[in-house]
Amino acid sequence: MDKILEAVVMSSYPNNVKQGLVRRVIEAAKQPMDSEQCWSMLELSTKLYLTGDTKYKREIGKEVLEVYGHYHPEEFEEFFNVRFLLSLLQEGYGPLGKRSHYVLDYIQLGLQFVLESPSANSIFSLLRIEVLRKVCERPSPKLCAKISKLLTQYPQCIPTGKHQLLFCQQLIRCIGQFQCVSEGEEEIMEFLEQVNKVSGLLQRIWRTQTSAILPSLKELFTIISSTEEQEAPSNALASVVQFVPLELMDGVIRNLTNDDSITDVQMMMAIGRMIDWVSWPLGKNIDKWIIALLKGLAAVKKFSILIEVTLSKIEKVFSKLLYPIVREGALSVLQYMLLSFQHSHEAFHLLLPHIPRLVASLKKEDSNSATSSLEQLAELIHCMFFRFSGFPDLYEPVLEAIKALPIPNEDRIKHLLGQNAWTSQKNELACFYPRLASKSETGKIGLINLGNTCYMNSIIQSLFMASDFRHSVLNLTEGNSQPLMTKLQWLFAFLEHSQRPAISPESFLSASWPPWFTPGAQQDCSEYLKYLLDRLHEEEKTGKRIYQKLKESSLMSQAVEHHYLNKTLIEKMFGGKMMTKIRCLKCLNVSSREEAFTDLSLAFPPLDRNVRGSTSILPVEEIGPQFIEPPENAGQLMGSPWIRRKAPKASDHAVPPVSVETLGFQEPGEAANPVHGNDVGVDAAKDPLSTFGEQACAPKDSRSVPDLINYFLSPERLTAENKYHCEKCASLQDAEKVAELTEGPHYLILTLLRFSFDPRTMKRKKILDNVSIPVVLKLPILVAPEETDEVCQRGKDGAVPGSGFMTVVYDLCSVVVHSGISSESGHYYCYSRECTDTVPHGQPRDGVPKPASDKQLDFEIQWYLFNDTRVSFSSFESVSNVTSFFPKDTAYVLFYRQRPGRQSCLLHEALAEAGRLHGEPSLHKDLMEAISKDNILFLQEQEKEARNRAAYISALPKSPLWWRDLDRDKDDDSSSGGCSPAAGGGGSGSFHGLVF
């Protein structure tokens, strides 16, 4: 019978003819037959099944085996013996090698016919040993899947006792070496199915033998934490984790993170490879295990590991959001990584270039998954904006990309940030940030945030950028009696000459700290600035004169020396004077009081008050590049209301003071268009926020700095409960109060009073109104009539004969921005530029330096953005638009520098001459040595940190190049068709290139 079957199979007859003949042979096999004939048929069918060169031959062999196993069980048991199976497993069959998966298929086929036979136990015992041996030989994914299929169908073949645990561990090692050698989607699907069969076998074993789970996980961790492997273990290991019961998670993570035998390098390697598992499709709970381990590391304060892993892996995790099949898990991990990384903006900023492209791809996909992910991503981005405010130049493209997506409320943002932070002990992270960083390309140096000290950092940088003040501080020689000024000098010197990207102002903070400030809490930068300037002023008043060097150089005349050297440095730089007059409306008596100020606090006028139109008496005039000249109709101008002590008529309105005028809204290349008339108090050529014309009114939510100054200088009625006690009348009377500037400071500091007390909520609230900021500001200064006439006769300044006022021009040099909605929270950063007298030496105009044109001042002088440790280039456009893009980011404190004029030319000349003689301030020896030593120390620290980081980074698993999809051009079509990141649908083909 075997000869007939062999002849039929090997013949050239058509398959349908062969099938008929084979069917007869098989039917005959169901009849009784001698053992020798059965043996011959079993040998032939085995040969056909194992070595047949066509699928047809193997199917015939399989069919014959099944018939003889069913109808001739004794002969089949005798043939299918232990010795034969051992030979198959250890030596193969003829040309068929022992690693052929047909061997396992053959054994699995035959086992069903010997289950009840006396030899069954012997066969199972053999197979338990042989499958363990085969797994230890690291079989291919296909062969390993065949073993798993065999053991899943016949669990009697699964190793038992100690061998069972060893089998689990070796099976995990096999999975760790799985690699898919093809990029075709069918091959990938087949590979995934093979991996799932193998990991499914582990799940089956763990269900019946829970004691094997933890040792198996230990083996898994050993594999992924190994630093000796040349090639990274396969991401297929992710399939193992999904079957670990979640109730074991806390205990497993706790044991791992508290195991002293696990080094930081091993832990970093392990968590880095686990994060790579977000690429594994169809896995369950992988993101939960990754996040749990990250949280476990945070609990034991392994911040260095978390920082390095986050910064090296976050872009890769972000890129997985392009693929629907792994998007949910990747987004989960990304959310935790970003929300927990709250000590620095570095991780979030790595993603900024990629966000617009991802958002565009998700919008194009237009699936439920993409829509949901977009909303979650937008919420996450707004949380990062809230936490790391102060980077408008970087955030504008991202804000534009997500502008149509929902914005979470502040409570939701605070909840998410508070829920996920690594630690509330911010100082614990100080040693990890700033990491090995290069100095800003601007050449400027940042200041480290010591725990909500951005308010101080912004003020220090603004003072440092006030170049006249900085040079004066650096030129100081005697500091024994001025400890705070000495510390400021040291801080300025390090900001000027240090090679570090950022320095710590810790010493200055402790010295300048207002005693009522709460450590670690956000503070009001304006309050700090006032306290600092007052401390410096009082310190100098009670000590030796600090301008001794300038005096000894005999650069100033005796008159100037008498006028200026009697002042402290703070008075010279920031001091102005203001006259407050109160007129009793009954007796018309005027009382006046002159007082000094270092800043003007500007309240917001009521929304229904038209400050621009109601307070002006001077016509609008364009400020050109030359010095301000008196207007031709100066004789028609009215003066200050009470200089002449003229009694008002009942029908008269209160006469306002001279208005503030501005310039600085021109677009590049456009000239300002002067607007004539005497009813408009603001000169803001091309102001995008205002409409000019008679009695022009700004929109309700639009204000300008001149509006606020005009409101500050406008008369105030004292009536009802606020009546004035007139000494002449000896009773409370209605009165009128007005403030007039009598001396303009060299640096004008303006504080916009944005924080007001709300009696309903009993809290301070913030006024979020946008305030347009002019780059050039004209300020009216009251002078005595005889001085005005003298000045006018000599053609100096902007004095108007008989008006009592002269105009002083100021250029914007710094803007401190508050981001947030409360003075007790939020963030401060500042925009600054160097304002100097840009005039070639030897080209004065009547002895007065010629200032640069306003266009030059606006567009040619470089602006910088100072945000704690980060310093970047910026522009006046960014300063002007910051609130438009970020409504909670509002200008709070402004620094203006006075242009050289007759009133201030003596000081300007002295400062300029000192600068020409001495160049950059020469530091005293101790300070120079301290800076040199610190620079050397920094280089040593860099070298040491580079070595340490190299050890950490070398431990991180190398990421394959394929994940950098975000850096490809949009037209890059190099990937296989149908699997591009933007392909919608999210079918099984959407994970091409993900796994391997």
Just list the catalytic residues.
454, 827
Per DSSP, the three-state class of 30 is coil
Q: Work out the angle at residue 683's Cα, subtended by the Cα atoms of residues 681 and 688, and round it to the nearest 5 degrees.
A: 115
Of 269, 274, 273, 301, residue with least CA distance to 289: 274
Residue 807 sits at φ, ψ, to 5 deg, of -100, 130
Omega of the bond leading into 668 within 30 degrees of 0 (cis): no
Task: Calculate ∠ Cα 963-968-972, nearest 5°.
Answer: 115
CA–CA distance, 515 with 498 (Å, rounded to integer): 30
What's at 334, amino acid-wise?
Answer: L
Contact 227/265 with Cβ under 8 angstroms? yes
How far is it, in rounded angstroms, from Cα 857 to Cα 651? 45
Residue with tokens 């706790």: 254
Q: What are phi and psi of 290, to 5 degrees?
A: -60, -50
Q: Give 419: exposed, middle or buried? Use CB within 10 Å, 0-12, 13-18, 19+.
A: exposed
Instruction: Residue 381: name the closest of 362, 360, 356 by CA.
Output: 356
In this structure, are strands 446-447 and 502-503 parallel, antiparallel, or unpaired?
Answer: parallel
The residue written with tokens 């260095």 in the block is: 304
Say which residue the tokens 């007129």 belong to: 583
Dist. CA 713–CA 705, nearest whole Å: 12
Which residues, including other chains, have CB under 8 Å from residue 976's CB and lie 6 or more apart? Answer: 183, 185, 992, 993
Between vectors from CA 310 to CA 308 and to CA 312, what angle results, nearest 5°? 65
Instruction: Please give the backbone phi and psi of residue 127, each rounded to the nearest 5 degrees, phi first.
Output: -65, -35
> C-alpha distances in angstroms, 277 versus 235, 282, 290, 294, 487?
6, 11, 9, 14, 52
Residue 819 belongs to what H/E stretch? strand 805-819
In angstroms, what CA-CA distances link 614 with 134, 617, 661, 663, 706?
Answer: 95, 9, 14, 20, 13
Residues whose CB falls within 8 Å of the CB of residue 466, separated by 6 or more in sequence, listed in order: 573, 747, 813, 814, 835, 895, 897
Number of alpha carbons in the 13 Å side-chain half-sphere of residue 600: 28
Angle at which helix 925-955 crosses helix 264-276, to 10 degrees, equals 60
Q: Are 525 and 818 in contact, with CB atoms under 8 Å apart?
A: yes
Angle at CA 855, nearest 5°, toward 854 and 859?
120
**Alpha carbon of residue 313 to chain centroid:** 15
Longest dimension (CA), the chain: 143
Judge residue 289's burial from the number of C-beta atoms within 10 Å of its C-beta, 0-12 exposed, 13-18 middle, 19 or more buried.
buried
Gap between the Cα atoms of 856 and 876, Å rounded:
12
Query: How would you label 228-253 residue by residue, b for 16+ Cβ within 10 Å and e otherwise?
Result: eeeebbbbbbbbbbbbbeeeebeebb
CA distances from 892 to 303, 462, 604, 683, 767 (A): 35, 13, 12, 22, 10
Coil vs helix vs strand at 506: helix
